[in-house]
């Protein structure tokens, strides 16, 4: 088998890029669950666009954390320093679609 030539590409984003902001929010949600319950299971994805953050996924852990997700997202965006027209931590809309993980999944994982 001969080695063929190919082009290798990759993407790297810098600080403040929406991908980094979303990763920061998802990580903070995960941390909030694990702080409350070390055995929590969290599959959290975040999407950001103009004046909106959407968080979704499945969780198994303390239910009160789901109620704090909007505050967690706003704190992350504020900590990063977004205070501009089009994306401001105080004015952005946060939609959370986190829901409880199926008991069947929990048994199999």
Mean residue pLDDT of the chain comes to 90
**Residue 59 near residue 33, CB atoms below 8 Å:** yes
Q: What burial letters (b/e) apply to 32-59, b meaning 16+ CB within 10 Å?
A: bbeeeeeebbbebebebeeeebbbebbb
Q: Spell out the CATH class of 18-108.
A: alpha beta
> How far does Cα 47 stand from its chain's mean position?
7
Contact by Cβ (8 Å): 24, 76: yes
- The model carries a pTM of 0.83
Summarised one tens digit per residue, pLDDT across range 10-50 is 777 767 678 899 999 999 999 999 999 999 999 999 999 99
């Amino acid at each position: 088998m001969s080695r063929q030539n190919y082009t290798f590409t990759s993407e790297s984003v810098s600080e403040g890029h929406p991908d980094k902001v979303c990763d920061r929010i998802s990580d903070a949600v995960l941390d909030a669950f694990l702080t409350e319950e070390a055995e929590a299971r969290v599959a959290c994805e975040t999407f950001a666009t103009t004046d909106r953050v959407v968080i979704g996924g499945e969780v198994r852990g303390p239910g009160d954390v789901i109620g704090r997700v909007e505050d967690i997202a706003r704190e992350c965006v504020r900590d990063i320093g977004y205070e501009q027209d089009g994306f401001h931590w105080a004015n952005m809309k946060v939609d959370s679609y986190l829901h409880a993980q199926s008991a069947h999944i929990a048994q199999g994982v």
